[in-house]
Amino acid sequence: MPEQDKPIVTVDVVLLTLREESLHVALARREHEPHAGAWTLPGGWVHTDEDDDALAAAVRILKAKAGLESPYLEQLKTFASRHRDGRGWSVSIAHYALAPFDRAISESIEWRAVDAIRTLPFDHLEILHTAVERVRSKTGYSSLPVHLMPATFTLSELQRVYEQVLGTQLDKRTFRRRIEELDLVEPAAGARNEGAAHRPAQHYRVKRRFGRELALSDRTLG
């Protein structure tokens, strides 16, 4: 393959969180041309001397640009064409990541409400929309949103997060039955506030085995 025919290869990451009841995405300020100074999805070239694979590049970028270690991280889709970057034929192996808001605080990124973003450089708006669609679609039948939760939470809080991601209300009984079928959570010891006047809600945590993989239901969670 002649060197001049090799495309540019980058990894971009759509890092999503829930904040003020709506999905927010992390944007980073670009240091170099093109679009120097603009806010874009955090990303960068693959470092062939350093990154073992594309996932390792995404982990490196998340740590360097968002100060974030081991969030839920998955490959999204690859955007590869001659039109997406003025410098020539280029490949973005796009990933998406989910993290609770308090775990993803960094001075070098800015959080923007997904629904308020009208434009982004390159094809980053298309990448962002693809990620949000993927997360919403998986949310309907999987454990994906647990990666947005704090360490412990009530079932009502869990349902509220599913509803915020989906943008719709869910039936409480159906939701609880599906969560039970997914075998997703376990009671968190000590989190129950025993002495209160009203019987307080039980607190739960995500079962350890869901730290990395998804539980899938064959029905929607509504």
* C-alpha distances out from residue 83 to 78, 92, 118, 151, 206, Å: 14, 12, 20, 43, 43
Q: Can residue 1 be called a binding residue for a second copy (CB under 8 A)? A: yes
CB-facing half-sphere around the CA of 64: CA atoms within 13 A = 12
Tokens of 216: 């899938």
Residue 85: φ, ψ to 5°? -145, 125
Interface with a second copy, residue 33, by CB under 8 A: no
Nearer to a second copy, 1 or 197 (CB): 1
Q: Which stretch binds a second copy (CB under 8 A): 35-43, 87-95, 154-162, 173-181?
A: 87-95
Residue 36 engages a second copy in binding (rule: CB under 8 A): no
Cα–Cα dist 191/1, whole Å: 60
What is the smallest separation between the CB atom of 76 and a second copy, expressed in angstroms?
10
Based on the shown chain and the rule CB under 8 A, indicate whether residue 5 belongs to the binding site for a second copy. Answer: yes
Q: Contacts with a second copy: how many residues (CB under 8 A)?
A: 33
Give the residue from 44, 48, 38 showing the smallest Cα distance to 13: 44
Q: Which residues of this chain interact with a second copy, rule CB under 8 A?
A: 1, 3-9, 45-49, 51-54, 75, 77-78, 80-83, 88-89, 91, 93, 140-141, 218-220
